[in-house]
Amino acid sequence: MTKANRKRRGRPRKEDASREPSGRISRSGRNHEAVDKLAIDTRIRRLGLSKDDAKDQKAGSYIGYLNMLGASDGLSRAQYDGAQAYLTFHERYKRSVQSPGAMYDPEAIGGDAADPDAYAKWCEGLEKERKALQDAIQNEQNYSRENLWAALQIVVVEDQHMHHLVGATRLVCNVLARHFKTDVEKRRAA
């Protein structure tokens, strides 16, 4: 079959029709943009990222942005993983104390169909881990002039852009990486 015959097969494509992101002709007549186009454009403008970097999932949070900058200007991979592990722990702890701001999963421990004894044991384990984590952070705070607790709350948990807390964020993420042992070789973070 020749190339000219293949070109004529099927229904002719309307070139001037507005289309959906899937390529189908839009029945509403509007041009549809990607859902995250505004977020990507904002990341490009405010953070100075390239279009490919702005599409990365890490660019959606400040600690992810710091990780994208690299270990010299932001966070290393181990520090980023430590911060992510802390956010997971923080959600589990909020669920254990039945905080209204927690994300609830009915299938997880502490959900609707939970065994009360297993729930109590789970809560005790989380409380012990929280105490050990607090002791580790306070031990590092005793040797630092930076406010590690503010960096943990404001930068890691609340995800606010505070450039003056980047040094403290690095220190607290080192503690988190050591505590949660997120480094591949189980050594100290950068």
* Helix or strand holding residue 178 (H, E): helix 166-180
Q: What is the pLDDT of residues 104-163, one digit of tens each?
A: 766 666 555 567 888 888 889 999 999 999 999 999 999 999 999 999 999 999 999 999
Indicate the angle between helix axes 62-69 and 166-180, nearest 10 degrees. Answer: 90
Tell me the sheet residues that pair with 19: 25
Alpha-carbon dihedral 84, 88, 94, 99, rounded to 10 degrees: 90
Model's pTM, two decimal places?
Answer: 0.76
The candidate with the shortest Cα–Cα distance to 74, out of 93, 97, 49, 99, is 49
pLDDT computed for residue 109 by the predictor: 63
The residue with greater pLDDT, 31 or 69, is 69
Instruction: List, for residues 5-41, the tens digit of each pLDDT value.
Output: 566 678 887 888 888 777 788 877 776 676 778 888 9
- C-alpha to C-alpha distance for 35 and 123, rounded to whole angstroms: 39
